[in-house]
Amino acid sequence: MKHNGMKMAGLVTAMVLIPGIASAAVSGPQNAAPRDFGRDGVLRARQTQPRVAVEGMDWTDALASKMDPAQICRAVRARVAYTPDTGPADEWSAADRTWDRRKGDCEDFAVCVLALCKANGIQASIRIFVRRGTGDAHAVVVGEWNGSAWMSSNGSFEDLASRHDAAGKVARDLGWWAPDVAEAQQASAPATTAPGVFAMPF
């Protein structure tokens, strides 16, 4: 999708060292499970999912693979390289076409992630956010898994406090001013305009 004149916001990571935890994190055993602070501030082991090998995997095999949302997003991100549309219109490629040609932009990532979610019985949908007055738009997948909300933008996987937090997350990730971000109202799924290609009117 178009990101006219958009400047990506720089990401700054800060590490807060807490007495007693910092030394354990630095000097702990190398085979210890990775740990994260939860939203409640409690340090706990991070659950890690095995990676799905996508090299040489065709679309039929991908659909048959049993994956959770994080594994799906990692598989799509490992397989597909971000490549913006070059024409004047935004093209929506079918998931198998994006997988096979190994490239696409935000909506192609979203269609691919959504198709794999559906194949795995995971509740998810594509949501499109626009920046008012600019023509900029961004497609993401938002879903729920084991009672928790999550979002995928260009193949990333991120937890959300709730599905309603997606707009704010998109604004922060893209450096858009949050009050200018709105969800596009889509009456129906994109209509096919060519084999494997979709066009979305805005």
**185 backbone dihedrals φ, ψ, rounded to 5°:** -90, 120
List 149's β-bridge partners, or say none.
144, 160
Percent of the chain with pLDDT over 90: 58
Report the pLDDT averaged over residues 54-66: 88
Two structure tokens written together for 162: 């709730």
- In tens, the pLDDT along 33-55 reads 444 444 444 444 444 455 666 77
> Domain residues of the chain, as ranges?
59-199
Is the pLDDT confidence value at 195 over 70? no
Percent of the chain with pLDDT over 70: 65
Is the pLDDT confidence value at 8 over 90? no
CATH T-level topology, domain 59-199:
C8orf32 fold (3.10.620)
At 14 the pLDDT is: 29
**How many C-beta atoms lie closer than 10 Å to residue 185's C-beta?**
7
**131 backbone dihedrals φ, ψ, rounded to 5°:** -105, 110
Kindly tell me the sign of the dihedral angle through the C-alpha atoms of 165, 168, 171, 174. negative
Report the pLDDT averaged over residues 61-79: 95
At 3 the pLDDT is: 58
Is the pLDDT confidence value at 75 over 50? yes
